[in-house]
Copies of this chain bind each other. A is one copy, B any other.
Amino acid sequence: MADVAERAGVSASTVSRTLRGLATVSPEVRARVEQAARELNFAVSRQAASLVTGKTGVVAVLVPTLNSWFIGSAVSALGPELRTAGMDVLVYVTPEMTERADFFERLPARRNADALLVFCFDLTAEEKARLDDLEMPVVYVSQHAEGCPSVYVDDVAGACRGTQHLLNLGHRRIAFVQSVGASGFAFSSNERVAGYQQALTRAGVPLDDDLVVATPVDDKRSIAEAIGELLSLWEPPTAIFAEHDELASWVIWTLRKARVEVPERISVLGFDDHPIAEWSDLSTVAQSPEDIGRAAGELARSLIDDPDADPGRHIVLPTRLIPRASTVPLRNGGAEGAEGGAG
């Protein structure tokens, strides 16, 4: 910076003021400084700046992976959102338990970021406690955290809406396939079941525990078994609501493999509006990870700028039903109908 100052014939303070866009610099000097900075290929050292300002200009993001439609989209939207505020995004990818433990052990974000965004983690109580001690805003994304700022979609309302869609199509035997194991989404998972049950109850359809099955997403065998449970019920379902689109796609795949026509014999509804939903022509309850990412970024910024802001602020985003080809009206009042019956 001294070099720039010398070249522009001013003091370091003036260079600093210019480069930070403070108004108290004469246009003529500003021009000289900017020119000199450009010529010297100069960029301010955040490290040094943050040392004195106390602000790092960095928002840390803790994620299990980036290789996920939801997280990838959300973080992608977060970047530009924060960039406009001059902030950078630091990602801590902790796919393994050991890496995650290491993160909490060393808390590297502690003084190296102005805020932390925690994505999709089912945290232990101890981990949660450490985050509470972090002395910086922590925003929870896609999960609740009592008394902590968080951003998530209204899973209950979304699942409720999806279920209502199936009810409106005449279905009464509606199954719910829940995913297990893929840690990090347990919160949404439970909420979605709750929404499903809520819609049924509201419609006066009795709940039937046999209609709710759970399976890991990445195990075709388990998915087949879960579907098998449903197909072997005395009154099998005429519609299946899957916790998310990827699972829904495998459900369809499994059903079709078993020569159960979708949607003629069984309607299938997903949740997320994952790209695969469009590809599979899957009806779904859409959420927007981009909106979530942006909202999380905004929330983080507002908490950084105004530490006195309500720390318990929750941002709940809406969902939208997207009807496609995988959900159709119930025909013949049962599971035996194929093509041909009039609506």
Interface residues of A (CB under 8 A from B): 41-48, 50-51, 56, 58, 65-69, 71-73, 75-76, 78-80, 83, 88-96, 99, 102, 106-112, 133-135, 249, 253, 276, 279
Q: Which residues of B contact A95 (CB under 8 A)?
A: 76, 80
Could you tell me if A89 and B93 are in contact, using CB atoms closer than 8 angstroms?
yes
Nearest chain-B residue to A88 (Cβ)? B90
A67 to B110, CA, bound (A): 27
Contact of A67 with B69 at beta-carbon distance under 8 Å, contacts A46-B112, A47-B46, A107-B41 already known: yes
Q: Which residues of B contact A78 (CB under 8 A)?
A: 93
Measured CB to CB, the closest approach of chain B to A104, in angstroms, equals 11
Contact of A96 with B80 at beta-carbon distance under 8 Å, contacts A67-B73, A91-B89 already known: yes
Could you tell me if A83 and B99 are in contact, using CB atoms closer than 8 angstroms?
yes
A88 to B134, CA, bound (A): 18
Q: Number of copies of this chain in the oligomer?
A: 2
Q: Which residues of B contact A107 (CB under 8 A)?
A: 41, 43
Measured CB to CB, the closest approach of chain B to A57, in angstroms, equals 9
Could you tell me if B65 and A76 are in contact, using CB atoms closer than 8 angstroms?
yes
Contact of A249 with B80 at beta-carbon distance under 8 Å, contacts A93-B89, A112-B46 already known: no
Q: Which residues of B contact A279 (CB under 8 A)?
A: 249, 253, 276
A112 partner, pick from B42, B45, B51, B91, beta carbons under 8 A: B45
Could you tell me if A108 and B43 are in contact, using CB atoms closer than 8 angstroms?
yes
A92 to B82, CA, bound (A): 10
Measured CB to CB, the closest approach of chain B to A228, in angstroms, equals 21
Could you tell me if A89 and B90 are in contact, using CB atoms closer than 8 angstroms?
yes
Measured CB to CB, the closest approach of chain B to A97, in angstroms, equals 12
Measured CB to CB, the closest approach of chain B to A85, in angstroms, equals 13
Q: Which residues of B contact A96 (CB under 8 A)?
A: 80
